[in-house]
Amino acid sequence: MNVDVEISEQPLPLQPLTISGCGAIARFDGIVRGLEDGKEIAGLCYEAYAPMAEKVIRDILAELSVEHPCERVRVSHRIGFVPVGEAAMMMDVHSIHRGEAFALMQKFMDRLKQEVPIWKRGSR
């Protein structure tokens, strides 16, 4: 495992936009890997029934936020051809304390592939 550690007086680079009162921002990027079922690929093709996918994502987040109240969640999922090394999806979560953001993000990711009508259509 490669580890970088930095202790510094400088502002940290690449900060996401923050929301007043939030002490935690958690983010996840799901990246297309170079191997699919053991064979090398150039990328994956995603297909979605987009209006339904968006509705299901919003419903899952509304449900999860009852137990894990967060201030803001952003979810983006790419469709069409996504080359290896690029993000197929990303989400970030703003919350007052970190526990809620971590919990919501993990539970959302577990449900995304099960319940949301976005499919891997194949690879090339």
* Interface residue list for a second copy (CB under 8 A): 1-12, 14-16, 18, 20-35, 48, 50, 53-54, 57-58, 61-62, 65, 69-80, 85-87, 89-90, 96, 98, 102, 105-106, 109, 118
Distance CA 50, CA 56 (A): 10
The residue among 62, 48, 52 whose CA lies nearest residue 104 is 62
Q: Name the minimum Å distance from CB 92 to a second copy.
A: 8
Q: Name the minimum Å distance from CB 123 to a second copy.
A: 14
Q: Name the minimum Å distance from CB 51 to a second copy.
A: 9
Q: Which two tokens stand for residue 108?
A: 């959302």
> Treating both helix axes as pointing N-terminal to C-terminal, what angle do 50-67 and 98-115 enclose, rounded to 10 degrees?
140
C-beta separation of 115 from 49 below 8 A = no
